[in-house]
Homo-oligomer: A and B are copies of this chain.
Amino acid sequence: MISMRTDLAIEAFETAVEEQLLQEPTIKEEIKVSEDKVDHFTVSKVVVPKSAEQQLGKKEGHYWTLEVPQLRTQNEKWQQSISQALEKVIREFLPLSNISSEAHILVVGLGNWQITPDSLGPLVCENVFITNHLFHNEPEAVEEGFRKVSAIAPGVMGLTGMETSDIIHGIVEKVKPEAVIVIDALAARAVERIHATIQISSTGIQPGAGVGNKRKEISLETLGVPVVSIGIPTVVDAVTITQDTLNYYLKTLGQKKRTQDNPSNSLSVGALPGTKKLTEKDLPTQEERKVYLGMMGELEDHEKRQLLEEVLSPLGHNLIVTPKDTDLFMEQAANIIAMAINSALHESLADGHGTSVTH
C-alpha cells in the first residue's frame, strides 16, 4: 500500500519501484512503461493492469504524462507548441478509451474558481468551444468538422453542498453525452513537476487516495460512459519541498566530491558555490549521505517523506503551497488545454486552430 498521496501515476510508479512493492516479476512485467516523443516533448506511457492496482494504488488503465517544462515560461511560441503537442496526445488517447470521433463529449471542469491554484477546470471550461446546443437548436448553422461538445464547472462541495460526482452523474443521465473529459488541478510530489507536466488518463477521478469509495468516483463505472481526465500539478506540500531540497543538497555535495576529490567533512558557508546541473549519478554513497545528513541521509526517498510527514502533520505544518505567480500560470495553462481540446475534438479546428474560436 502506498501511504502518501500523489495524483500522478508516474510518481506512484516510481515510488512503488523504489519501495520494491512490485516484487512479483510477473506484475512488474505486466505494467507497461514506454516513452514517446510528440514534437519537442516526451510522453511517458504507463499501462496499469488489473493485477497491479492494489500495489500501485492506481486504477487499471492508461496514464500518459507529457513533459512540458516550457509551460512555465511566458513565451508565446512555446505555449503554441505545447498546445499542439497536447492536441496530438488527446487525439491519440481518445480511441484507447473507446471514444469515437463523433461522440458528444461533456467537458467537466473540476475545482474551485475562488482558489486560484484549484481553478484549472473552471478556467478551461470558459475557453472550450461549445457546440452541443447548436446541433439541437440551429442544426443548419453547424458546419462540417464539428462535433457536439458541452461543458460544465460544477464547483466544489464547500460551494454547492453536494457531492460533485452526484452533480455530474445527474447531468450525464439527463443530457446523455457519449463521453466525459474531466479537467482538474493536481498535487505533485516533486517541485520540478509543478506547472511542468500534463497527465492524461483513462480512469477518471477517484477522490481521496487509492482505490475504493466507488460512490464518489467520476469514471466509466459510475457514469456509464468513458471518462478521460486531464490534469496539471499546481501545488506541493512542505514535505515535498524539503525532500527535494535535501536531495539537491546531497547531489551537490556528491558532485563536488567527484569533481574536487577533496570533500571536506565539515561544511563552512561559502563552500558550495553551486552548480547548474545535477543528475542521479551525483547522489553520494550511502556512507557519504550519512556524513552529510546523518540519520536522515540514510533513508530512502519514500522513508524520508514518511518521516517528514510524521514530523509536520501533527504540528499542522505540512503547508500546501503554490508558486507565487499562480495567477499568471493558471490562465496560461487553462488556455493551452482549452485550445488543445478544441483542436482535438473538432476536425475543423485541427492543427492548432482551436484558438480562433475563443474570444
Contacts and interface: CB of A to CB of B under 8 A. Distances in A.
Interface of A: 74, 76, 114-118, 125-126, 130-134, 148-155, 157-163, 166-167, 169-175, 191-192, 194, 235, 238-239, 241-242, 244-246, 248-249, 252, 265-267, 269-276, 278, 289-299, 303, 306-308, 310-315, 317, 319-328, 331-332, 356, 359
A23 B152 CA distance: 48
A242 B242 CA distance: 5
Contact of A131 (B74, B131, B161): B161
B166 A317 contact: no
28 contacts: A74-B359, A76-B356, A76-B359, A114-B327, A115-B328, A116-B116, A116-B327, A125-B159, A133-B162, A150-B162, A152-B154, A153-B155, A166-B171, A166-B175, A167-B171, A192-B317, A241-B241, A241-B319, A241-B321, A242-B242, A249-B307, A249-B308, A267-B299, A271-B310, A274-B311, A293-B296, A320-B324, A321-B323
A133 B118 contact: no
A129 B45 CA distance: 41
Contact of A310 (B161, B273, B276): B273
Contact of A322 (B244, B317, B326): B326
A307 B131 contact: no
Given A303-B269, A320-B323, A359-B328, A308 B245 contact: yes
A161 B171 contact: no
Contacts of A174: 166-167, 169-170, 173
B317 A191 contact: yes
